[in-house]
Amino acid sequence: MKLYSNIIEGGGKPLLIVHGLFGMGDNWKTLGRKFAEENGFDVHLIDQRNHGRSPHSDDFSYALMAKDLEEYCKEHNLDKVVIIGHSMGGKTAMELATTNPELVEALIVVDIAPKSYPPHHDEILKGLSALNEQKLTSRKQADENLKEYIDNWGVRQFLLKNLYWKEKGILKFRMNLPVLKEKYEEVTDSISENALYEGPTFFIKGEKSGYIHAEDRDLLNKHFPKSQLLTIKEAGHWVHAEKPDEFYQGVIGFLKFNKICE
């Protein structure tokens, strides 16, 4: 599958950034520019299948999404990439690194562990499904209707970034919502029991998030024996958006320590 991406050229090593569930590459535009302008990375903000401007498909799994990234790297002649993945994108990045270790120079996983999770997006899926069936003519209307399901303003704004003008006066979602609902269990699944990546790996968690626990440390070391873990204080699951400066400094410190950037 040919993925859509926004490439911010910095003239140096390739840095792939992979968003989470219901997201898109544009969510990372500000940090992407910073990595390009201040550290010389060629930053690839990638939309995963069934998200953003990338193609829709009835097939959806981490194996397929990792294969999409592998094909993307071949198409763009990329080798020895640094990859940052958030949440679902973190699992895609882990899948790519463990199945194609020669392709990945360093792995950065944001607020997700290589384990299965219980379903926890019920209200979001209900709200998005309700909106998907409505005739939406303004973003204000969409926000008011979504508020019935989701109280958090920031989460609503994140989700509503998926809206676009399909035709004059009609808003629609870019994401393939029916498939994301149908294949939701794929998103919550763990990586393979035997998965292993021995390159430098950096896990970043938000202090207020419940996605990575202290007892997960042995699991991280099992699959990623050269891993480090950074906890960013006062941050939740969207740690890169909530604490961008701390997140950026943490990533650059890790890359400098491993002599991947100066």
For 186-231, how does the pLDDT look when each residue is reduced to its tens digit (9 = 90+)? 999 999 999 999 999 999 999 999 999 999 999 999 999 999 999 9
Q: How far is CA 13 from the centre of its chain?
A: 20
Cα–Cα distances (Å) from 192 to 96, 198, 230, in that order, read 12, 15, 24
Catalytic residue among 54, 87, 209, 227: 87
Tell me: the pLDDT tens digits for 8-66? 999 999 999 999 999 999 999 999 999 999 999 999 999 999 999 999 999 999 999 99
Q: Is 213 a catalytic residue?
A: no
Single out the catalytic residue among 44, 51, 86, 237.
237
Confidence tier at 262 by pLDDT (50, 70, 90): confident
Q: What is the pLDDT of residues 92-102, one digit of tens each?
A: 999 999 999 99
Q: Active-site residue 86, yes or no?
A: no
Mind listing the domains of the chain with CATH numbers?
5-116+190-257 (3.40.50.1820), 122-182 (no CATH)
Non-local (6+) Cβ contacts of 58 within 8 A are: 179
Q: pTM of the predicted model, to two decimals?
A: 0.96
Question: How close are the terminal C-alpha atoms of the chain, in Å?
Answer: 34
